[in-house]
Amino acid sequence: MAFSSALCLTAHISDATTVMDVSADKDATVIYNTQLCGSTPCALVNHGMEPTITASEQNGSVSRILLGFIIPLDDIGSKNITQCQLQMPAPLQAPSSQYALQAFEAQGDWSEASVNGVSTLNTGTALGSDTLVSTERPSPIDVTAACREALNNDSESLSLWLDTDAKKTMSDKLYISYNQIHQLIDYAVKNYKLGDDYNPDLLIAIGGGGFIPARILRSFLKAKHGRNIPIQAIGLSLYEELLPGQSPNGIPEAPGTQVTKTQWLNFGGSDSLVSLLGRKILIVDEVDDSRKTLVYAVAELKKDILEQEKQAGLEPGASNTEIGVFVVYNKNKPKTELLDDDVMKRYYPTATTPDRWLFFPWDCTTDIGVHSELAKKSFSSM
C-alpha cells in the first residue's frame, strides 16, 4: 500500500454504538497537473504507488489518491450505519504551509496499476473538505452519503478520490516565456488540426495581449498552406490601469467590469470597413478570464456581419461567415458570460490553468532572462 488509511464506519447495532475501522483494500496515487494542454494534462504521472500524498503549490499540480474499500455487510448490516468517516494519517507531506484536502465519490471499476491522471472514472459528489497546515492531522471527512448509497445499491465496494492541493491566492503568479508560448501554439495547431478541420482566412487579434500570439499562430498556419493569413487588430479593454505604486505584486492592472472599445476594424478610413462576409474568422487573445471581452468581441463582429449582409441584400446568416476563438490560456473558473454554441465548437485554448495571475513575457519590464528562468522553474513541476 502507498500509505495507511482507514474508513471508520460508525454503525448502530441494537441499542449500542459500534465503531469499525476498515482499511483500504486498494489505493493508487496519481500526481498530475490541472493545467491542460487541450483536453489532456500538460504533465502527469501515469500511475504509481507513491509513498506519500503530496500537495504541490505550482501550476495547479495536485496529488490525487484513489481509495477502494470493502464494507463488511455481513458484520454491520446496511440499515445500521449511522455515520461513515474517512480518517487520514498525519501529517500529509506538503510543500506549502497550508493546503486543501477534498474527498469525492468515485464511480466505476479500477485497478492500482491502470489508474492515471486522465482515468475515465467519473468524479461524483463532493463529500467534504478540510483546510489545514502541513503539521496537523486532517480532520475526519464525513462520507456517510457515499456509504449509504453504496449499501443501498447492494454493493460492498466504495471508492473515493482524495485531492490535496496547496492553498492558493490570486497573488500567485505563473511566469510564461516566449518559448513556452511558441510551443503551446505549435501543440494547439496540431492538436486541433487548425488549417484543416477549421481553416481561418482572417485573424483578429485583441490588443495588446493577442498581437504576438496571432503573429506566431499565422506562421504555423502558413507552414501548412504556404500563404499568409491577414491579421486585423481590435482594441478592447476590461482591465483598468492602476496608478504607480498601487500595483499588487508588480502587476499593473486590476480586473474591471465593463468592456471598452478602443479600436475597431474600421480604422483605415471612413469607408474602409473590412469585409467579413464569407470569412472564417479566428479571434486571438492571450487569456480567457471572465470571458466578457471575448463575448463582447463576438457580439460586435456579429453586428457588423449582419449589417454587411443587409447592405449586400443577403438574408441574415446567408453569407455563412464563421467565427472561432483561439486563446493561449483559459482560466478554469466560472465565467461571467458565455459564448454562443456556434462559436464554442470552434473554441481553441492552447492550455487551461487554475485561476491565478499570468505573467506573460510582454508584461516583463525588467530582465527578460530572469523572467524566462522563473518560467522554467514554474513549468519544471509540471
- The one-letter amino acid code at 93 reads Q
Q: How far is the C-alpha of 73 from the C-alpha of 297, rounded, in Å?
A: 59
The residues facing 206 across adjacent strands are 234
Q: What angle do CA 300, 333, 284 make, to 5 degrees?
A: 40
CA distances from 331 to 20, 223, 360 (A): 43, 29, 14
Q: How many CB atoms lie within 10 A of CB 128?
A: 18
* Residue 158, φ and ψ in degrees, nearest 5: -140, 130
Active site residue 289: yes
Q: Which of 165, 288, 289, 363 is catalytic?
A: 289
The cell for 30 is 496519481
The catalytic residue positions are 289
